[in-house]
Structure 1
Amino acid sequence: MDKNIGLYICTGCSIGESIDVEKLSNIAKNALRVPVVKSHFALCGKEGVELINNDIKNEGVNTVVIAACSPRIKYEEFDFPGCIVERAPLRELAVWMQDNKENAQLAAEDYVKMHVIKAQKGDLPEPYMMETVKTILVIGGGIAGMTAALQAADAGYQVFLVEKEPQLGGFANKLYKVVPTATGEYSEPLIVDSDISNTIKAVEGHPNIKVYKSAKVEKTDGQPGAYDVTISANGAEEVVKIGTIVLAAGWRPYDATKLEHLGYGVSKDVVTNIELEEIAKNNSGKIIRPSDGKEAKKVAFIQCAGQRDPNHLPYCSAMCCVTSLKQAKYVTQNKDATAMILYKDIRTPGRLEYYYKAAQNDPGVMMTKGEVTGVTKAENGNLYVEMENSLLGEKIKIEADLVVLATGIVPATVDDPILNLQYRQGPGLPDLELFDGFADSNFICFQYETRRTGVYAAGCVRQPMNMSEAQEDATGAALKAIQAAEHVAKGIAVHPRAWDMTYPDPFMQRCTACKRCTEECPFGAIDEDEKGTPFYKPGRCRRCATCMGACPERIVSFKDYHVDMIGSMMKNVSVPADDDKPRIIVLACENDAYPAIDTAALKQTKLDPSVRFIQLRCLGSTNLVWIADALSRGVDGMLLLGCKFGENYQCHFAKGSELANYRLGKVQETLGRLQLEAERVQMVQLAIDEYDNIPKIIGDFVERVKEIGPNPFKGF
């Protein structure tokens, strides 16, 4: 594309009062060879937009550089279809964050140079188009899977539903009664019939849903919009074309045989909460002791049985407390019976708190907090539940004729990949290391999203939840699956860069098959052929450019984002000859760090004038050559600001900032070759709401660079 660049400088929002616009214009015309340079007091207003549109129409401008406010705002006003549009944030970074006009002018000149060069180096994005389908595969025929299937089918999409059991319904089929979903206070803890049979009828009778029962997914090949999924059912195999996938495979109870200290397997009268549902359902609501067939009159419920326990399940299963409250009602339907709930804590979020309060007022229900240490046999054939540190005393024994263990939820994906993906990085979804088996669904930023593009987790494969929550979860996952199918059909990315039409375009002639890109891609977007040469599946790509940062040969690029582009921006940052004035380049992630910087600017926060910011898609895209080139040119220090990584606060691209941190561990060697101190390069994790920390982070780093001294390459 032959570029005709137009630079448009806004003089509003204090920009014209703080910088010399004429000097800035002359630099653009003479040093940068920009043919069209104009200014306006309000570029985002009607007249300003018309000014740019007239130049596009009459002057042939096809590359627009807006030197005004942050690229995170006014993006609708500055949308010029068919043109490259680049934004230089003079207001925030050159005016609001500088303490005087001299510093504001120098910063403005740098930011205009950088963003004009970025526009010069970029190209107009083109969508990645391929032949796609918009069908949706739902794996799992429980309440979550059926809800997802119905939501997608009602929206007009063809759905294929795969269930491993001979019938739909999942664990809901085993329930005697359920907790009512109506809001408001309860006069007593109610139990109602499940309507699971109606949901099953709706699914099996829907014209847009094809159901496979006693079935499993044997293989999932391809990419979003063009998956080839092999389904085996009733001894036959069928390959179906799939656009996107909802994984709602459900859960299984924790293995109670591991809880021998609680009496399971030692006495027949120690059962799990799921087994109690079967007892109640098979006996029309009566709670019968397995050992002798007599009706239980004193039933002890042990909460968190093997849960919130580092030796078993470290997490809370979310549904057990309300399940025990419901099952206590089964017991107290016999007015002579007593239900005893022994808990670490009672957790009934939202409107379920009313259900808890109603159970507290039931005279047949006794609740006490404590730590259950064991279950032993009593001489009369009953059981003793032993507790410590309870509300009833330091050490007590409670006699019961039946003990119920709230064993909790284990996702069905544990030890079973289910999807059987034909991906280099493995057949299953990456899961959370701390909570083995639950899909890594980026719970903070993009719920339902997994690290396999086009695959959305719903229900208890994503996190523990009750039936009502699973239905809501399934609706969200179905909507995201629909959105992804639509985006892939248009050749654009899914979240978080849901507008992005670019895709990686590697120059494979220089590829050394080092495998760094295939290993580091957080989303499994790169496979390898039989010779070990990587090849891309762009439909899987989230456009984070982690592969670009990983590649030592620098062969991966995007139309509007590549190694040479960012490197050229850095090389054109002014480096003061005065040793007392350092120059610091800050690489900031567009998802957390840059918005935090914007917020700090909005608060008129002043920063050290030595700093220049460059926005990156993700710190995972950081190529170490940028650091070497910038420091060899005389830049005194580089600071990388990225998302907090780890499972308690997740990077938007899952592993981006973590990979950048890993790579920086290798920068010591690079700096050693340049005979520079490793402390000149640092990385700091920054959450989007930690904007108040930015002055200290920047200030401390600048002071440390001053202590180290000026870069010896300065002036060369």
Structure 2
Amino acid sequence: MSTRNTGVYLCSGCGIGDAVSMNGLEKVVTSEFKKSCKVHDCLCGAEGLGIIQADVADGVNQVVVAACSPRVMTDRFRFNGTQVIRGNLREQVVWSHTANEEDTQMMAEDNIRIAVTEAGKSIAPEPKLESDHSQVVLVVGGGYTGLTAAHEAAQTGYDVLLVERAPQLGGMAMRWSKRTPTRPPYKNPQPNTMADLIKTVSSHSRITIKMSCTVAKTSGMPGHFSVELSDGSCQTVGAIVVATGWRPYDAGKLDHLGYGISPDVMTSVEMETMLKDGRVVCRSDGRVPDVIVFVQCAGSRDQDHLPYCSSVCCSVSIKQALQLREANPDVMVYIVYEELRTPGVAEEFYRTAQREGIIFLKGKVKRIDASLTVLVDDALLQQEIPLTSVDLVILAIGMVPNSTNIESQTHSLDDEYATLLNNDVNFYAPIQTAGIALDPITLPPEKQPEGASILNLQYRQGPHLPVLAHGFPDSHYICFPYETRRSGIYVAGPVRRPMDMGESAEDATGATMKAIQAIRTAARGLALHPRAGDLSLPYINLNQCTKCRRCTVECPFGAIDETTEGFPSVNATRCRRCGTCMGACPVRTINFSNYTVDMLGSMIKAVNIPDETEEKPRVLALVCENDAYPALDMVGIARQSFSAHIRIVPVRCLGSVNLLLLSDALSVGYDGVILMGCKPGDDYQCHFMKGSNIAKERLSKVGETLKSMALESERVTMTEVSIADSAALPKVIQSFVETLDTIGPNPFKGF
């Protein structure tokens, strides 16, 4: 933007003009900022939009709209690529505060100051376009999910490279004699159509298949992944779908269920092999069984084994039981379950089994001995009962994700990092932040899974896809289920979560569409998610960089590598624009063109801080745009109220908040600072994975900074906000304001 020409537009509609003085707001713009300002009672209407469009045509190249929340009317306030800054007068001021009161007017005026200051410090980003973007989708895994993903991508018009480590396609699904029903009437097992799918994929002109092959190395970024295969070939691909499937839990660990004690105790996978061969017999003596017992949750939902539910086991046991009855109508079949999970249309499948005389026992199997006596703690009878004269026991074994190549050598975490760290820099040394020494950097806490990496990523943060505690790849499971913490790499099927073939087909389609989306957005220089369409990228002033490596360590997505000289190097299309690197940098040398430390600091300082004699405290709220900000919007929509002493500055993520901003805010007279971020934990809701955790860790160091300023540590707090917590937010805010009232005014006021 060569010459900034900013137009400010105030909306008086939706009750705004009835609650605050529009003349007062206009005066802030024209007198304090010397900007042109226009007021209209419906800016989102045709007439209001026409006014803005005419000004843009006449040379306005930056628009500030102070009206409703920036989360609404986004399609209307777009003007041929002109940068638009939004100020939230409606939801977070007039709808949530008493009309025509001095505090409400002051809040609205400060809201205008914050928005106009943001505009003055923001530069519209330009797309960073790379040439020769690859349009190829790499699919890793040739099972049902991988084959479906490859076929979907090819049918959409994209070339596919399918890599399968086995000498044949099909994966675990090829072992299945039949499959659980996926079409009406959902009552009986369906034929396994894997052979047809393999034939379709193998003959497709857009699909190249590599069998007995693995991925040796993966480097680069979306649109430009360089993939080296174990056969020595190399190819550039645009995006990657990991569909490596699952493996059965090690039944050898279930000796209390008789596995390994009697040959007639087998897993559901082993039973499937017998069903496919067409001959089910006792392995001990070859006779046809008369009594068969299925034991559900064999290893699943057990804190000593797999604490999660493997999802499909109940339906698989019902399928196998029906197949056994079809082959031998006289066989007696028991299914012992703790909770039977057949949701949705699978309930019809369950009813079929009941009608066929399958006996369902609710209880927990305590023990199975060598004579195949099954001791059941019956939940209905509330006593232990033995099942005797049993010929076969089938353990409904749990599903373990193939998020690593378990057959290859396991590398220790230190080994994986050794080749990535430069010896001339002490990676563990403490650094100075806000005038205090932080603790030494430690390696990321993510648990590295057993086994070798599937993709062997040549990333600064190691070769694995980050995984959760039980091996499933880490993603925002609510909003972005297919994403991993490595941009452009998507997971589908049982490697993502336990699921059956029907769900896997849907999962494969979803992940493929995301992969195609990644290819297309990378070619245009756009962020994919969660800041969809964002053109900004971090830029680093290497002249000020201290090579501390905090940005490369803290980036949740491994977007920053290091040069041979030890400087950070941003991989553009890996970046999700969260700003965590900006918050990590102790010398404030990392910024975005439209989001900088200086911009946030200036927005904070733009607020009018009353003298302490006026008894009007000012509280800074640094609010995450993803959950906390919309939660505050919902407070206004519900016409609830929160303290008018709060001044809201939205941030991309709490991970982007540099500690120095807090000391800056307190030094200009804010009485307190509250950080509002997303909820962490196993079911975290942070759109950038670990922003709240990072902020909490940084915040633990603030006490010394406040002590050096002779300020109370209670002046800074952090709260975790779900979007569903809006009803409780006013109380949270009021409680903090009351705490500050007890402490008293900030002694820095007026300096």
Place the TM-score, normalised by the shorter chain, in its bin.
Answer: over 0.9
Does residue 397 of structure 1 match 2:389? no
Q: Distance in 2 between matches of 1:698 and 1:391?
A: 49
Q: Which runs of 4+ in 1 moved over 4 A?
A: none
Q: 2:710 aligns with which of 660, 675, 685?
A: 675
Q: Secondary structure at the match of 1:299?
A: strand
Q: Distance in 2 between matches of 1:547 and 1:702?
A: 31
Q: Could you tell me which residue of structure 2 aligns to residue 652 of structure 1?
A: 687
Which amino acid counterpart does residue 133 of structure 1 have in structure 2? S
Q: Could you tell me which residue of structure 2 aligns to residue 335 of structure 1?
A: 329
Q: TM-score, normalised by structure 2?
A: 0.91
Q: Distance in 2 between matches of 1:533 and 1:298?
A: 68
Q: In the TM superposition, what are the counterparts of 1:566-715 in structure 2 within 5 Å?
A: 566-579=600-613, 580-715=615-750
Q: Distance in 1 between matches of 2:116 and 2:177?
A: 68
* Contact 1:299/1:331, CA 8 A, preserved across alignment: no
1:119-162 CA-partner distances (Å, limit 9, x unpaired): 01010111121121121001111111111111111000111111
Q: Could you tell me which residue of structure 1 aligns to residue 104 of structure 2?
A: 104
Q: Could you tell me which residue of structure 2 aligns to residue 62 of structure 1?
A: 61
* Contact 2:403/2:471, CA 8 A, preserved across alignment: yes
Q: Could you tell me which residue of structure 2 aligns to residue 155 of structure 1?
A: 156
* Contact 2:186/2:346, CA 8 A, preserved across alignment: no
Q: Could you tell me which residue of structure 2 aligns to residue 413 of structure 1?
A: 403
1:626 Cα shift?
0.9
* Contact 2:685/2:722, CA 8 A, preserved across alignment: no
* Contact 2:578/2:656, CA 8 A, preserved across alignment: yes
Q: Could you tell me which residue of structure 2 aligns to residue 320 of structure 1?
A: 313
Q: Distance in 2 between matches of 1:159 and 1:574?
A: 58
Q: Distance in 2 between matches of 1:191 and 1:108?
A: 64
Q: 1:425 aligns with which of 461, 479, 498?
A: 461
1:391 Cα shift?
3.6
Q: Distance in 1 between matches of 2:37 and 2:359?
A: 79
Q: Distance in 2 between matches of 1:77 and 1:254?
A: 53
* Contact 2:15/2:94, CA 8 A, preserved across alignment: yes
Q: Could you tell me which residue of structure 2 aligns to residue 345 of structure 1?
A: 339
Residues 274/634 of structure 1: CA separation in 2 closer, same or farther (3 Å cut): same
Q: Distance in 2 between matches of 1:368 and 1:224?
A: 51
1:336 Cα shift?
2.0
Q: Secondary structure at the match of 2:621?
A: strand
1:392 Cα shift?
5.1
Tell me which moved more, 644-653 or 311-320: 644-653
Q: Could you tell me which residue of structure 1 aligns to residue 424 of structure 2?
A: none
1:25 Cα shift?
2.0
Q: Distance in 2 between matches of 1:41 and 1:519?
A: 49
1:526-570 CA-partner distances (Å, limit 9, x unpaired): 112334322111110110001111111111111110100010000
Q: In the TM superposition, what are the counterparts of 1:22-41 in structure 2 within 5 Å?
A: 22-34=23-35, 36-41=36-41
Q: Distance in 1 between matches of 2:228 and 2:195?
A: 29
Q: Secondary structure at the match of 2:9?
A: strand
Q: Could you tell me which residue of structure 2 aligns to residue 89 of structure 1?
A: 88
Tell me which moved more, 339-348 or 220-229: 339-348
Tell me which moved more, 522-531 or 544-553: 522-531
Tell me which moved more, 300-309 or 525-534: 525-534
Q: Secondary structure at the match of 2:698?
A: helix
Residues 589/477 of structure 1: CA separation in 2 closer, same or farther (3 Å cut): same
Q: Distance in 1 between matches of 2:81 and 2:295?
A: 65
Does residue 198 of structure 1 match 2:192? no
Q: In the TM superposition, what are the counterparts of 1:36-435 in structure 2 within 5 Å?
A: 36-58=36-58, 60-101=59-100, 102-131=102-131, 132-184=133-185, 186=187, 190-232=188-230, 236-282=231-277, 284=278, 286-333=279-326, 334-363=328-357, 365-378=358-371, 383-391=372-380, 394-399=383-388, 400-414=390-404, 415-433=451-469
Which amino acid counterpart does residue 417 of structure 1 have in structure 2? S
1:22 Cα shift?
2.4
* Contact 1:593/1:643, CA 8 A, preserved across alignment: yes
* Contact 2:337/2:362, CA 8 A, preserved across alignment: yes
Q: Distance in 1 between matches of 2:20 and 2:294?
A: 72
Does residue 450 of structure 1 match 2:499? no
Q: Distance in 2 between matches of 1:544 and 1:356?
A: 46
Q: Secondary structure at the match of 2:461?
A: coil
Q: Distance in 1 between matches of 2:381 and 2:621?
A: 59
**CA root-mean-square deviation:** 1.3
1:713 Cα shift?
0.5
Which amino acid counterpart does residue 163 of structure 1 have in structure 2? E
Q: Secondary structure at the match of 1:702?
A: helix
1:592-612 CA-partner distances (Å, limit 9, x unpaired): 111111111112222211111
* Contact 2:20/2:99, CA 8 A, preserved across alignment: no
Which amino acid counterpart does residue 151 of structure 1 have in structure 2? E
1:50 Cα shift?
1.4
Tell me which moved more, 47-56 or 205-214: 47-56
Q: Distance in 2 between matches of 1:616 and 1:262?
A: 53
Q: Distance in 2 between matches of 1:484 and 1:215?
A: 25
* Contact 2:361/2:378, CA 8 A, preserved across alignment: no
Q: Distance in 2 between matches of 1:358 and 1:39?
A: 68
Q: Secondary structure at the match of 1:532?
A: coil
Q: Distance in 2 between matches of 1:280 and 1:105?
A: 76
Q: Distance in 2 between matches of 1:408 and 1:416?
A: 22
Which amino acid counterpart does residue 490 of structure 2 have in structure 1? Y
1:390 Cα shift?
4.2
Does residue 503 of structure 1 match 2:501? no
Q: 2:550 aligns with which of 488, 512, 516?
A: 516
Q: Secondary structure at the match of 2:208?
A: strand
Q: Distance in 1 between matches of 2:189 and 2:33?
A: 75
1:239-295 CA-partner distances (Å, limit 9, x unpaired): 11110011100010001111112111121111111011111222x2x3111111111
Which amino acid counterpart does residue 601 of structure 1 have in structure 2? G
Q: Distance in 2 between matches of 1:181 and 1:7?
A: 56
1:163 Cα shift?
0.8
1:651-673 CA-partner distances (Å, limit 9, x unpaired): 11111111111111111111111
1:339-398 CA-partner distances (Å, limit 9, x unpaired): 1111111111211111111111222x21101121221122xxxx1112224445612221
Does residue 489 of structure 1 match 2:479? no
* Contact 2:540/2:591, CA 8 A, preserved across alignment: yes
Q: Secondary structure at the match of 2:64?
A: strand
Q: Distance in 1 between matches of 2:96 and 2:325?
A: 67
1:502-539 CA-partner distances (Å, limit 9, x unpaired): 11111111111111111111000011233432211111
1:491-511 CA-partner distances (Å, limit 9, x unpaired): 000111111011111111111
Q: Could you tell me which residue of structure 2 aligns to residue 464 of structure 1?
A: 498
Q: TM-score, normalised by structure 1?
A: 0.96
1:552-593 CA-partner distances (Å, limit 9, x unpaired): 111111111010001000011111113422100111111111
Q: Secondary structure at the match of 1:508?
A: coil
* Contact 2:612/2:745, CA 8 A, preserved across alignment: no
1:81 Cα shift?
2.3
Which amino acid counterpart does residue 570 of structure 1 have in structure 2? I
Q: Could you tell me which residue of structure 1 aligns to residue 447 of structure 2?
A: none
Q: Percent identity?
A: 48
Extract unaligned runs of 5+ from structure 1. none
* Number of residue pairs the alignment of both structures matches: 699
Residues 299/441 of structure 1: CA separation in 2 closer, same or farther (3 Å cut): same
1:619-673 CA-partner distances (Å, limit 9, x unpaired): 1111111100000111001111111112223211111111111111111111111
Which amino acid counterpart does residue 425 of structure 1 have in structure 2? Q
1:166-224 CA-partner distances (Å, limit 9, x unpaired): 111111111122222223363xxx23321111100110011111111111111101011
1:81-123 CA-partner distances (Å, limit 9, x unpaired): 2422111112223322221422222112111111111101010
1:694 Cα shift?
1.4
Q: Distance in 2 between matches of 1:392 and 1:143?
A: 42
1:416 Cα shift?
3.4
Q: Distance in 2 between matches of 1:99 and 1:18?
A: 8
